[in-house]
Amino acid sequence: MALKLYLAGPDVFLREAIEIGRRKKAICGNIGHEGLFPLDNKVSKDATAIFAANRDLMDRADAGLFNLSPFRGPSADAGTVFELGFMAARGKPVFGYSNAPAVYEDRVAPDAYEIERFGLADNLMIAEAIRTAGGEITIVEEKAEPCLAAMAAFEAAVTRLRMP
């Protein structure tokens, strides 16, 4: 059965976001799935409209595939993490991928606060949401530009969802 996969991540902030979305959707299509990319929505710059359109895409999706590559800090993009939690709370399967091979605790700069030391790919709430939903986080280090798109990790993750 083909899955509709919501493809979330900080990729939407890249200059070439539309092209990256097309490439990721094509990879999904090549293995029999349909990718739903947030920038497929034809909405204005209105925050309320963008939120509603993306929520509708998540509701249509059978599962979510989330780019957890660190963005603007040691952890995944906040919007992406919200979307992951939204879909997990709705009982949908969620999966992650990242271009960062270092575990979360090694990416966090030491300061006066405690650091989670569980050896996970990201914050425990992110990693455990994926694990308890039956998913996994696929990690493939890459340095090619734009590495934020994490194309190699995306392809490895979506290939694991190949239909029989």
Q: What is the residue extent of each domain of the chain?
A: 4-160
Say which amino acid occupies 111: D
Q: Measured between alpha carbons, how far is residue 127 from residues 17, 123, 132, 148 in Å?
A: 25, 6, 9, 19
8-23 residue pLDDT tens: 999 999 999 999 999 9
pLDDT at 161: 83
Using the predicted structure, report yes or no on whether residue 119 has a pLDDT greater than 80. yes
**pLDDT (mean) for 16-39:** 96
- What pTM did the predictor assign? 0.94
Instruction: Check: CB of residue 86 under 8 Å from CB of residue 19.
Output: no
For the chain, the maximum distance between any two Cα atoms, rounded to a whole number of angstroms, is: 50
Q: In what order do the strands lie in the sheet with 94-98?
A: 34-36, 4-8, 63-67, 94-98, 137-139
Using the structure block, give the residue that is written with the tokens 């590559």. 69
Percent of the chain's residues with pLDDT above 70 = 96
Q: Which pairing describes strands 34-36 and 63-67: parallel, antiparallel, or unpaired? A: unpaired
The pLDDT-based confidence of 45 (bands split at 50, 70, 90) is confident
Q: How far is CA 67 from the centre of its chain?
A: 3
Q: Once rounded to an integer, what is the mean pLDDT over residues 54-58?
A: 97
Four-way CATH pick for 4-160: 1.10.3720.10, 3.30.930.10, 3.40.50.450, 3.40.1190.20? 3.40.50.450
How high is the pLDDT of residue 155? Answer: 96
